[in-house]
Amino acid sequence: MPAPDIRQQLAQAATDRRRPDGTAYHSLSSVAVQQLARGMDCSHRWVEQTALAMEIIPERYSRNMSTFSAEDQHRLLNCTACIVGVGGLGGSVAEMLARIGVGCLRLVDGDHFEDSNLNRQRFADAASLDQPKVQVARKRIAAINPATEVIALSERLTGDNGSAIIGDADIAIDCLDTLQARLYLQTACRGKNIPMISAAVAGVSGQITVFYPEDEGLTTLYGDLASATDRGAETTLGNLTFAVNLLASLECSEAVKILLGRKTTLRGRLLIFDLTDLAFDIVQLAE
């Protein structure tokens, strides 16, 4: 006997629920997603996308509504983000994008976790020390959202592997810690014609902006790149967890807006902050 149609199974598995404001919606529990994926031998992502196309909201995304529509949520599940650097910024960005429901994450980092990462890096804990960062991240993300596919690339971005690392990503998120690596990423993004979100932190200060391939790019932040130093004020001030996570949140917010085609982003503008005196500024990068 042929398996019953997935749509019929989804309609049966869906329940009627209400949002905290009273709005009614059709909901699909994570257990139901898992059972359907197993029963049909297909991915969680496919089950969730099929449900969303029927206006059935996987319950794990219910609190993304109504900031996101079912169509937005479906679109995010189609997207791939390349997160380059899976340390302080990258670990938190990866977790947030998985929770929000981005369908595929390409995680790039050649390092292993070490003691000095424990003050801020999302996936660093006692058990993960000496383990490859991207492998630890892959396991944690699979446990958080099985619908998010993770491609773990345990390697360093260089001048030669940028195109292969970016793959078919729709966007790249700079979570790196050297200017040289950022330059490689910018070159790779230009080659692939995709936007790049760039952030950097030092102590309790940070900066974030968005570059498109045709923009002036990193020189607007670091000046003449030939004379720029590879690292910055963080060598003196360190990296504090709340500054790192604030920036990671901003990177995710910008990434989601870009993936959903929303207009107002930090393109052409730089947000900088210093939490010492709560100074937040948005600087126009070109007149």
CB of 269 vs another protein, minimal distance in Å: 9
CB of 261 vs another protein, minimal distance in Å: 27
* Phi, then psi, of 81 in degrees rounded to 5: -115, 135
Task: Give the nearer residue to another protein in terms of CB position, either 244 or 258.
Answer: 244
173 to 212: interface string for another protein, x by CB under 8 A: -xxxxxx--x----------------xxxxx-xxx-----
Interface with another protein (CB under 8 A), residue from 24, 126, 226, 286: 286
97 binds another protein (CB under 8 A): no
**Cα angle 239, 241, 246; round to 5:** 105
Residue-by-residue DSSP string for 74-85: HHHHH-EEEEE-
Q: How far apart are CA 73 and CA 55, in angstroms?
A: 10
147 to 176: interface string for another protein, x by CB under 8 A: ---------------------------xxx
Sign of the torsion formed by the C-alpha atoms of 239, 150, 249 and 253: positive
> Tokens 């052409």 label which residue?
268
Question: Do residues 56 and 14 touch, judged by C-beta distance below 8 A?
Answer: yes
Buried b (16+ CB within 10 A) or exposed e, 39-52: eeeeebbbbbbbbb
Task: Give the nearer residue to another protein in terms of CB position, either 6 or 118.
Answer: 118
CB of 211 vs another protein, minimal distance in Å: 14
283 binds another protein (CB under 8 A): yes
281 binds another protein (CB under 8 A): yes
215 binds another protein (CB under 8 A): no
Among the listed residues 263, 265, 270, the one whose alpha carbon sits nearest the alpha carbon of residue 254: 265
Task: Give the nearer residue to another protein in terms of CB position, either 193 or 229.
Answer: 229
Question: Do residues 187 and 159 touch, judged by C-beta distance below 8 A?
Answer: yes
Interface with another protein (CB under 8 A), residue from 229, 261, 263, 264: 229
Q: What is the binding site for another protein (CB under 8 A)?
A: 85, 87-90, 174-179, 182, 199-203, 205-207, 220-223, 227-234, 236-239, 244, 270, 272, 274, 276, 279, 281-287
